Chain A
């Protein structure tokens, strides 16, 4: 039995590969948060007055809120006055006009992360926006997308170039009053991605944002806004990494999606923030609010997430199913090992008639990891004929970790159909021995068992990233068993 445990342990103790730091000069504001800092951030970004006022309202509201404590997470209090709320690479002070003008050090950083920014070398069919600490450093394939009327740019650029769209939609899905972290983000957000797909356009390539935290003691507060006009389609993917550090860093993002009639948004996340070391030192605190509004008839929003990083994950990508016949989906794999904690899940709020939602959640716990699924399915009185299917499975590697499930169900319309399935299993010595008897190493065995367990979710990722995701899950397995 002990050997199986050792094998599992070895498998879960692979090193974090993205922990390097880029020596780059940054232009940061002093640590701490007050109205002056917010004015400073807004001024640095040359924002219009409406946005500054919105930030200040959010900040004043935030001051009235208390950090939520209902999640199944344990961490020391966060000192919000010790965080640096804005940091940008100095070389970007005079904004580069093209990729050629981007600091080569930054381009090298993204290359090291496997995200080449040079367009000709880019994976065919993927456009990338790269966000470094608080600002977007480059967006590829912009011209090509613009030909179709698609806007894909950094959030700051959207504020400058398309203020009417930003003013109309910002906070329309996640108002700053929504929760503690959303209010904080609204006050201090620095950059992020913006995407607008016009009526009837099917975006021909994957859009992707690559988030990187680099500077020390800096929080990252980005905001993503995606608008899909009637009959349009877009698939968007975000990836995240950070350097290895002893101290914890805060990441509090907000994502808002709006799908009009017959529009579809597919939003995928591969979250690999630094998870902390084997003793639980360091790592990113990831407090994220993500929500999509299926505003139009027969619209569809699909969330797929692979959460392998962060010391703490607090994240519930949700769907408001307002349009009749609209569809919400949530596919999730959350991995916690060593001392990582995740409290993640979704909310599916059925408002329109014949709305449908699917939830597939796969939690993997190893080491001392604690993994909680928290999900709400709410069928409002107006949601005639609504249907939901939820499946929550947990896989335990070893016997010091934990899996928890908190499903909440609220049904106010008698015609609704709601199904919930849950299971917990443990990778055992028996399964591993069976695979070894067929000639596979124990590393291959564990990796195969894990990949089988997560297959239902991984196959929902865009093809270009599914392989990457598999690798991330099964990371190398090198040097595990002696």
Chain B
């Protein structure tokens, strides 16, 4: 589904991604871990098409197509979803309206009929039940005045409504108390399917206690320095990230 080859990207003059290689197949869940500043969030943003970053090398294929030539909205409509680390507030625009506009943009792109208010309300209620979320959230303005936990859950709701092919969750677990973490994890698990792939960007192993990844990758200094199964996450939990930086240093020299 997703094929990343030697991807390099910079922000301003600073090279942040220094050659990423990663293959993600349908149905797989990949955890992307690493210390702060290792480039995890940058990779997520570059995949979503954020123009703050300039791709300076390598390629990314999504379903066999060159992803890098698509605009952010085209990527979204093709089925790439990014759950933001810091979801943005849009005052005065109701969550329900925003979600319907987003879903209809995706449906239109796929040649499907746009959903009217009634049909859409039905769909959203069903997803809310699935996630055990409160309907009151829908009438409020997008993320405005939401608590940290509500914002993250709202991202999961958007994912559930848009039903993407590839979901990239950028530190969706950060800043959550244990109940909110469990709710978010339940939402992610409910969305797992053989047709869908997920990349979980996370700093801690905590989320992975509730969502079992198929693969774990560790990033440092803009590269993936280790890949393995979920036992790698446990190893990181025991040892921290310090050893990685030592490992990454020679690689950087070479």
Q: What residues make up the interface of A, taking CB atoms closer than 8 Å to B? A: 1, 3, 425, 429-431, 433-442, 444, 448-449, 451-456
Is A3 a contact of B102 with CB atoms below 8 Å? Answer: no
The 8 A-B residue pairs whose C-beta atoms are closest, nearest first, are A452-B92, A452-B93, A439-B105, A438-B102, A436-B72, A434-B88, A439-B76, A455-B92
Nearest CB of chain A from residue B130's CB, rounded to whole Å? 19
The total of interchain contacts (Cβ-Cβ below 8 angstroms) comes to 74
A425 nearest in chain B by CB position: B91
At the interface, yes or no: B82 with Cβ under 8 Å from chain A?
yes
Is B90 a contact of A438 with CB atoms below 8 Å? Answer: no
How long is the Cα–Cα vector from A434 to B170 in the complex, in angstroms? Answer: 13
Is B84 a contact of A434 with CB atoms below 8 Å? Answer: yes
B70-88 contacts to A (CB < 8 Å): 71-73, 75-77, 81-82, 84, 87-88
* Apart from A431-B90, A448-B101, 12 more pairs, CB < 8 Å: A434-B84, A437-B84, A438-B98, A439-B76, A439-B77, A448-B98, A451-B93, A452-B90, A452-B92, A452-B141, A455-B93, A456-B92
Is B91 a contact of A440 with CB atoms below 8 Å? Answer: no
Is B93 a contact of A449 with CB atoms below 8 Å? Answer: yes
Nearest CB of chain A from residue B85's CB, rounded to whole Å? 11
Nearest CB of chain A from residue B88's CB, rounded to whole Å? 4
How long is the Cα–Cα vector from A437 to B87 in the complex, in angstroms? Answer: 11
Subset of 14 A-B contacts with CB under 8 Å = A434-B84, A435-B90, A437-B81, A438-B98, A438-B102, A438-B105, A439-B77, A440-B73, A441-B105, A444-B101, A448-B90, A449-B90, A451-B92, A452-B141
User: Out of B52, B93, B105, B106, which one reaches A1, CB within 8 Å?
Assistant: B52
B142 nearest in chain A by CB position: A452
CB within 8 Å for A434 and B76 given contacts A3-B51, A429-B52, A439-B102: no
How long is the Cα–Cα vector from A433 to B52 in the complex, in angstroms? Answer: 10
How long is the Cα–Cα vector from A3 to B139 in the complex, in angstroms? Answer: 31
Is A439 a contact of B106 with CB atoms below 8 Å? Answer: yes
CB within 8 Å for A436 and B71 given contacts A449-B90, A452-B91, A452-B92: yes
How long is the Cα–Cα vector from A442 to B71 in the complex, in angstroms? Answer: 10
A450 nearest in chain B by CB position: B92
User: Out of A429, A431, A436, which one reaches B73, CB within 8 Å?
Assistant: A436
B93 nearest in chain A by CB position: A452
Could you say which residues of chain A place their CB within 8 Å of the CB of B92?
451-456
How long is the Cα–Cα vector from A289 to B45 in the complex, in angstroms? Answer: 52
At the interface, yes or no: B33 with Cβ under 8 Å from chain A?
no
Could you say which residues of chain A place their CB within 8 Å of the CB of B105?
438-441, 444
Could you say which residues of chain A place their CB within 8 Å of the CB of B49?
436-437
Report the interface size for chain B: residues with CB under 8 A from the other chain: 30
Could you say which residues of chain B place their CB within 8 Å of the CB of A434?
84, 87-88, 90
Nearest CB of chain A from residue B74's CB, rounded to whole Å? 9
How long is the Cα–Cα vector from A433 to B103 in the complex, in angstroms? Answer: 16
Could you say which residues of chain A place their CB within 8 Å of the CB of B162?
438-439
Is B93 a contact of A437 with CB atoms below 8 Å? Answer: no
Could you say which residues of chain B place their CB within 8 Å of the CB of A439?
73, 76-77, 102-103, 105-106, 109, 162
How long is the Cα–Cα vector from A63 to B57 in the complex, in angstroms? Answer: 73
B146-181 contacts to A (CB < 8 Å): 158, 162
Nearest CB of chain B from residue A9's CB, rounded to whole Å? 15
Is A437 a contact of B52 with CB atoms below 8 Å? Answer: no
Is B87 a contact of A436 with CB atoms below 8 Å? Answer: no
Could you say which residues of chain B place their CB within 8 Å of the CB of A433?
50-51, 72
B143 nearest in chain A by CB position: A434
User: Out of B48, B72, B76, B93, which one reaches A448, CB within 8 Å?
Assistant: B93
CB within 8 Å for A440 and B88 given contacts A433-B50, A452-B93: no
User: Out of A431, A440, A442, A455, which one reaches B102, CB within 8 Å?
Assistant: A440
Nearest CB of chain A from residue B79's CB, rounded to whole Å? 10
Nearest CB of chain B from residue A473's CB, rounded to whole Å? 12
C-beta contact mask, B193-233 vs A, less than 8 Å → 1, else 0?
00000000000000000000000000000000000000000
How long is the Cα–Cα vector from A434 to B87 in the complex, in angstroms? Answer: 8
How long is the Cα–Cα vector from A434 to B76 in the complex, in angstroms? Answer: 11
How long is the Cα–Cα vector from A288 to B82 in the complex, in angstroms? Answer: 49
B45 nearest in chain A by CB position: A433
A1 nearest in chain B by CB position: B52
How long is the Cα–Cα vector from A453 to B144 in the complex, in angstroms? Answer: 12
How long is the Cα–Cα vector from A3 to B52 in the complex, in angstroms? Answer: 9
Is A440 a contact of B52 with CB atoms below 8 Å? Answer: no
A481 nearest in chain B by CB position: B71
Could you say which residues of chain B place their CB within 8 Å of the CB of A453?
91-92
Tell which of A430, A440, A453, A454 has the most Cβ of chain B within 10 Å: A440
Could you say which residues of chain A place their CB within 8 Å of the CB of B158?
438
Is B73 a contact of A441 with CB atoms below 8 Å? Answer: yes
How long is the Cα–Cα vector from A449 to B106 in the complex, in angstroms? Answer: 19
Nearest CB of chain A from residue B99's CB, rounded to whole Å? 8
Is A437 a contact of B72 with CB atoms below 8 Å? Answer: yes
How long is the Cα–Cα vector from A99 to B205 in the complex, in angstroms? Answer: 78
Nearest CB of chain B from residue A138's CB, rounded to whole Å? 38
Tell which of B76, B106, B162 has the most Cβ of chain A within 10 Å: B76
B10-35 contacts to A (CB < 8 Å): none
How long is the Cα–Cα vector from A441 to B106 in the complex, in angstroms? Answer: 11
B73 nearest in chain A by CB position: A436
Is B48 a contact of A437 with CB atoms below 8 Å? Answer: yes
A441 nearest in chain B by CB position: B73
Is B101 a contact of A431 with CB atoms below 8 Å? Answer: no
How long is the Cα–Cα vector from A441 to B87 in the complex, in angstroms? Answer: 18
B86 nearest in chain A by CB position: A430
Could you say which residues of chain B place their CB within 8 Å of the CB of A441?
73, 105
B75 nearest in chain A by CB position: A437
B89 nearest in chain A by CB position: A431
How long is the Cα–Cα vector from A14 to B84 in the complex, in angstroms? Answer: 32
C-beta contact mask, B38-73 vs A, less than 8 Å → 1, else 0?
000000000011111000000000000000000111
Nearest CB of chain A from residue B159's CB, rounded to whole Å? 10
How long is the Cα–Cα vector from A431 to B142 in the complex, in angstroms? Answer: 11
Nearest CB of chain B from residue A339's CB, rounded to whole Å? 27
Could you say which residues of chain A place their CB within 8 Å of the CB of B109?
439
Tell which of B71, B73, B87 has the most Cβ of chain A within 10 Å: B73
A449 nearest in chain B by CB position: B90
How long is the Cα–Cα vector from A402 to B208 in the complex, in angstroms? Answer: 48
A453 nearest in chain B by CB position: B92
B101 nearest in chain A by CB position: A440
